[in-house]
Structure 1
Amino acid sequence: MPTNQHQLQPRRAPRQRRSERTRDRILDAAVQVFTKYGYARGTTNRIAEWADISVGSLYQYYPNKDSIVVELAARHLDAGIAAASEREQAGTPGSVAGVIRAIVETAITNHRQDPEFLRVLLEQAPRSRELMDKVAEVQHAATDDMRRLLDQYPDVNVDDKDVAARLVVTTIELLVHHLMAAPKPIDVAGFQNELVAMLTRYLAG
């Protein structure tokens, strides 16, 4: 994995609709290539071929495949942020179990597509400083939101709500990431129900 952070940045941001479409084609093709071949064999030549562009055109947008996968990871985080925002706008459920279920459902929905590519992100993708900063920012915001939610429910029965908020957010993130990306498929409905039950018992048991 490269240590030069500059090598993990896109060469340019698309300014025209045509450039945006080309950028999206590259990113979509990269997901397919990394899913099919893995990260090591997911070359820029293959990505360009799947995107139906020349490799020279690809390099106008991304200096290497590392910068492509870093942007894909950032896009995955952005999708999670957008989904969480939609959930919050839908209103707060009337029980601890309800709010935990809504959060777990949102997390699972954001990870149901392309589990093979999700595994690539988790196990093989490089990490840029900017990406890790964004991960930390998302985690911090999710923990703050959870802490506020815990104050809204009188049946929450934990000694330290600050610690509880971090535990709940981290548990959901880690379990959903790893089990949805696991080589052996999991019963999603069963996993969701058990995770909700476990966290509800912890918070209100």
Structure 2
Amino acid sequence: MSGFFALFLSAMFVENMPLALFLGLCTFIALSKRPETAVGLGIAMIAVMGVTVPLNQVIYSAVLAPGAWGWAGLPDIDLSYLSLLAFIGLIAATVQMLEMLLERFFPAIHSAFGVFLPLLTVQCAILGGSLFMVERRYGFVDSIAYGLGSGAGFAIAVLVLAAIRSRLSYADMPAGLRGLGVTFMLAGMMSLGFASFWQMASP
């Protein structure tokens, strides 16, 4: 169990998707204007990555991996070249289900997402989680820890950025720093802060 939590914390802080691996920056920047929207994005990322990474692990190991069809007397079949297609298909189905649930039960959050909720289907951080899972050969339990940790790390990062941007909206800043200018500076400084976790985790 300690390995589960170690991987969860590593995915959350050491390998933070937007601030350490620089994945998913489009939605990270676009939906961090207001804390309410950032909360919705964070929950969506935890839900989508917590579901898709372990399910993609099952699909890959049971169907796509080399030798997965050995039980059927077909040990030479290798369908790993279909990984991207299968992963994106599962992610698209999960995001579609999430969109339907939000539209039905949380219409305010659904309208706040706008066009960015369907774009989670091709969000590079979500797909990256499944690709890293395959590259590192995580088992099912490890993939759960990695998926939940990656989603939680994204949620923490976007919430912190949204909180800072919300406070800075009352500040009298130079014209050149308003809007995206100060946002990129904040993201860069947060990235430097999260880089310290790399040093702490290094042997």
Name the TM-score, length of structure 1 as normaliser.
Answer: 0.32
Give the structure, 1 or 2, with the largest relative contact order (CA under 8 Å, sep 6 or more).
2
Structure showing the higher helix proportion among its residues: 2
